Amino acid sequence: MKALVVIDPQNDFCPGGALAVAEGDSIMQPINEMMGAFDLVILTQDWHPQGHSSFASSHGGAAPFSLTDMPYGPQVLWPDHCIQGSDGAAFHPALDTVRADAVIRKGSNPAVDSYSAFFENDKATATGLAGLLRDRGCEDLTMVGLATDYCVAWSALDGVANGFRVEVRLPACRAINLDGSLDKSLADMRAAGVTLMA
């Protein structure tokens, strides 16, 4: 059984959004065309409450994209984005959501950010994705989405660490590339055994 895991294909990560990834909207149609080749299609959705601790606006004058220390480690402070129920948190309208078998929401704990589809950034609080995949008999995962160097990479690394075979199809991903984060994430994924498909 093979699963397609589509990471955060949301309006706020596309041009015009609060945390826009360059050409983020361009991957929606290729993702739609891939869906029919998989037994299971799972979408993840960043789903932050107002005032989330990962927002720069929650840290009195901190600049977006600066770093702070949280109890679980270093945290990039982001512009307010993907706020629960907002248009920015909605899936991009060009995405075929009808094919989705499940939606995994993450980042709803106001005190902990969540890049990975498997765990919050504390590396302890599970999203339920691993159990869902195992219940469905899926061992092979293909990941696509936004952004390559954050939520896609963290999801791929956690997938391998949880015993899944993981490939990332880079043409159906786009990156933020903050301070060299894209090259680092690609190297980390290769070193962990993630298959990168160019």
* Distance between CA atoms of residues 182 and 65, nearest Å: 15
* Distance between CA atoms of residues 37 and 104, nearest Å: 21
pLDDT digits (tens, 9 = 90+) for 19-41: 999 999 999 999 999 999 999 99
* Distance between CA atoms of residues 115 and 175, nearest Å: 13
Is the CB of residue 155 less than 8 Å from the CB of residue 5?
yes
**Residue 61 pLDDT class (50, 70, 90 cuts):** confident
pLDDT digits (tens, 9 = 90+) for 147-181: 999 999 999 999 999 999 999 999 999 999 999 99
CA 156 to chain centre: 9
Residue type for 23, please? Answer: E
Q: What is the rounded average pLDDT of the residues 78-94?
A: 98
Instruction: Answer whether residue 191 shows pLDDT above 90.
Output: yes
In sequence order, the 6+-apart residues with CB closer than 8 A to the CB of 157 are 116, 188, 189, 192, 194
pTM reported for the whole predicted model: 0.97
pLDDT of 180: 94
Q: What is the mean pLDDT of the chain?
A: 97
Q: Which secondary structure element, helix H or strand E, spans residue 130, and what is its range? A: helix 129-135
Q: What is the rounded average pLDDT of the residues 42-62?
A: 97
pLDDT of 40: 98
The two three-digit tokens of residue 137, written as one number: 């008999």
pLDDT of 83: 98
pLDDT of 169: 98
Q: Which residues are catalytic?
A: 8, 106, 151
Backbone angles phi, psi at 36, to 5 degrees: -65, -15
